[in-house]
Structure 1
Amino acid sequence: MPYRDPHTAAPALWALYHSTGCEFEASFAEFSGDSHARKGLESLAIGLYRQEFGASPTVQFGRVPKGYRASSQNNSRLIAAGARFRGGLYDGPPLAEHLAGVPPVGPLTPSAQSQSWCGHSWSEWVALSDARYRIPSNTVGLYRIRGDCDGALLYIGQGVLPNRPVAHLSKITKVGHAQGEMFAAQRRLEVSWVAAPKRRAHQLLELENDLIAAHVLHLNCAPAAQFKG
C-alpha cells in the first residue's frame, strides 16, 4: 500500500484494487484559472455529487474499505519520530476511517449569511475577536467568517471551536501571509457557527465541503480566504 503522500486517496484505491481486482478509469476537464478557483470547482463537483447520491464518492475524505488500514503520510517529521508506517490488511477493531460518511443536511441554498443556510441552524453573528468568550469551549462543529461584504463569506471551516476560528486572527500579524492580509483589510470580522458534536473528522469535512460548494454555486467563487493557508 502506498503512503497518503503524494495523494491522500492512494491507500484506499490500492485497497479496492487489492480486494476486488477492479479496473479504474479517469476523466478530466482542463481549467485555466488559479488554484483558488480550481479548488472551488472541485468542492462544487463533490457537493453536486453528494446532492445527487446522498453520499460522498467512495474514498473521498480519507475513508478506506473495512478490512484495511490506511498508510500514514510520508514526511520528514513522521520519519524523524519513527511514526511513518505502511498500511494494508487489518483485522482489528473498527477505525474512524471505516465509518460511513454523512449525507448533506440540506440543499445547496443561496444566502450564505442566513441562519438557515444549507439546512443548518446557525448561531447569530458575533465579532471574531469575541469568539473565545461567546462560543462554548471545546464545541465541535462548523463555522463561517464574514468581512465587509453582506453577501459573500471570507472563510468556511470546521473543527474544535472557538480555537479554530480565533486562530485566523494570529495570521493578521504575519508579514506576507495571504489569508492574514485579507483578514486585515476588513473593517468587520464576524463569525457564526453550528455545533455538530457527534460528527467525526471526515464527516465534518463532508459538511464543510457542502458549504463551500453552495458558495461557489450561487456566488461563482469560493470564499475569498479559502484555500489560502
Structure 2
Amino acid sequence: MSPDPEQPAVPDLEAIDHFFDNWCNLTWTEWIPFSATKQVFHRIPKEPGLYRIRPVGKEYLVYIGETKRALHQRLHNLRIELSKAEQMPWSDPHTEAPALWALRDAERLAAESEPHPEIVSAIQKESADDQLQVPGGADNLEEEPPVEAFAYECSAAPLDASDSGRRGMESFLLYRYRQEYGESPLCSLGRFHPRYRRSTTKKEGMRGGRLAGGQKDNPAGGPSRLPLCPSGTPGDRDWMGLAWSAPATLDEEQLRNVPHSQGLYLLLDAGSKEVIFIGRADNCASQLSGQAGRAWEGKDPVFSYHATDGPVLLHQLRELEIDLIGNYYEQFRKAPEFQFRGSSHGTRGPATE
C-alpha cells in the first residue's frame, strides 16, 4: 500500500525535511535498517524519545512513535517481533506491529511478481558498509537475516521530557508530517492496509490476517484526510478553518443543543479561556455528556464543538484531532493541560505505549 495516489502531488523535496537529521529541531540518528547487525543497531540511543519508520530508502514514513523506554530497546524488540512473525503480531505490546506486518506482507506478495531490486541493493550495500566498519570483518558479525523484498529502517531522537511533553511532541511530528507530505504515515493513527484485518491483543485472542477475496476492504485502509490549514488561535471560533460553536457551560441544559453526530470538541477553562483538552467523538452529545461528569481538578470547563459534514472514517477523525493537538503544540510548545492525563479524562492519543 503506497501513499494514496488520489492525494495532492508531493511537494518539492527541497521543502520537505521529515527524513532529515534535524527535523523539527530534534537530533535524529541516521537511518538504520531493521536488518542491521546488533552492533550497528546499538547506534540507536538508550534514552526515551521519538522514532520514525520508513521503507528502506524511501522518502515517506509509515510510522511515527514515542516511547518512555530506551529507544534502542523499544525498536530492537519491534524488529525482533516483526522478523519472527509468520502470523500477524498481536496489538500488544507494540500497537504498530500489526499494521507494519500487514503492509510488508502485502508488498511481499506483490514482489513475487514484480521484485524491487533497488530496495534489495540498498540493504546489501548497507550490510557491506557495516562489515567494513567492524574489526575482523564479517567473521565478527552476527548472522544477518535474509534480505527482504520490502524492508523497514528507523531513525530515532532522544527527548528528555515528561510523558505529556514527549507525547505532545509526537503529536506535533504527526501534524508536521501531514503538513509536509499531505497525508498521515501509512501505519499511524489507526491507518491499516485495506486487505487485512488487525490482530486484537493477545488476551482477546483474535489473530489478524489477509482478508478473503469476497470480504470487504478494511475501512481503516481508506484515504487519509487532507490536513487542516493552520490558522487562528486555539479557542477562536474559526480555529484551523473549522466552524466552532460558541463556548457553553458543560451542563445538562447546554448539552441538549449538541448534535448526536461525529465531530471534534474543545474544553476550555472558563476563567483563563485556555484550551485544556482537545477531543474527537463519534457522538458529540454523548462524549461531552461523559466529560461533564468528570473531575477537572477545580477547573470549571466550558465546551465548544465542530460537527463534521457527513460520516468520517475513524482514522480520519483521529487525523483531524492530531492536527488540532499538533497546532496547539506548535503555538505553545506544550500539550493542553489535560490532554495526556490518562483514561480518567477520556484521553486518547497517538502514543505507542
Task: Give the TM interval when normalised to the shorter protein.
Answer: 0.7 to 0.9
2:206 alignment counterpart = 85
What is the rounded CA distance, in whole Å, between the counterparts of 1:74 and 1:126 in structure 2? 43
1:132 alignment counterpart = 255
1:94 alignment counterpart = 217
2:127 alignment counterpart = none
CA spacing shift, 1:40–1:49, aligned 2, 3 Å = same
CA contact (8 A) 1:111 1:151 kept: no
Letter of the structure 2 residue corresponding to residue 3 of structure 1: W
Pair 1:117 & 2:117 matched:
no
CA deviation map 1:43-74 (0-9, x unaligned)? 00000110111100111122222322211233
What is the rounded CA distance, in whole Å, between the counterparts of 2:182 and 2:209 in structure 1? 29
Pair 1:74 & 2:195 matched:
no
What is the rounded CA distance, in whole Å, between the counterparts of 2:288 and 2:319 in structure 1? 18
CA deviation map 1:127-158 (0-9, x unaligned)? 1114421212x221000000045463110001
TM-score, normalised with respect to structure 1: 0.85
1:198 aligned to which of 306, 311, 327: 311
User: How many positions carry a matched residue from both structures?
Assistant: 209
1:47 aligned to which of 175, 178, 181: 175
In structure 2, the gaps of 5 or more residues are 1-87, 108-148, 343-353
CA deviation map 1:60-111 (0-9, x unaligned)? 1222223222112333xx3xxxxx311111131122122112011322x341
Pair 1:213 & 2:326 matched:
yes
CA contact (8 A) 1:146 1:153 kept: yes
2:89 alignment counterpart = 2
What is the rounded CA distance, in whole Å, between the counterparts of 2:255 and 2:291 in structure 1? 12
In structure 1, the gaps of 5 or more residues are 79-83, 173-182
* Helix, strand or coil at the partner of 2:262: strand
Q: How does 1:150-161 map to 2 (within 5 A)?
A: 150=272, 152-159=274-281, 160-161=283-284
TM-score, normalised with respect to structure 2: 0.56
1:81 alignment counterpart = none
1:11 alignment counterpart = 98
1:25 alignment counterpart = 153
What is the rounded CA distance, in whole Å, between the counterparts of 2:171 and 2:219 in structure 1? 22
Q: Which moved more, 1:27-36 or 1:122-131?
A: 122-131
2:228 aligned to which of 105, 109, 116: 105
CA deviation map 1:196-221 (0-9, x unaligned)? 13211111110000000011000111
2:291 alignment counterpart = 168
What is the rounded CA distance, in whole Å, between the counterparts of 1:93 and 1:133 in structure 2? 37
CA spacing shift, 1:90–1:26, aligned 2, 3 Å = same
Letter of the structure 2 residue corresponding to residue 34 of structure 1: S
CA contact (8 A) 1:154 1:225 kept: yes
Greater length-normalized contact order (CA 8 Å, ≥ 6 residues apart): 1
Which consecutive aligned stretches of 4+ in structure 1 deviate over 6 angstroms post-superposition? none
Q: How does 1:172-183 map to 2 (within 5 A)?
A: 172=295, 183=296
Q: Name whichever structure is richer in helix by fraction.
A: 1
1:178 alignment counterpart = none
Pair 1:35 & 2:163 matched:
yes
CA spacing shift, 1:39–1:149, aligned 2, 3 Å = farther
* Helix, strand or coil at the partner of 1:28: strand
Higher-Rg member (1/2): 2
2:118 alignment counterpart = none
Q: Which moved more, 1:112-121 or 1:5-14?
A: 5-14
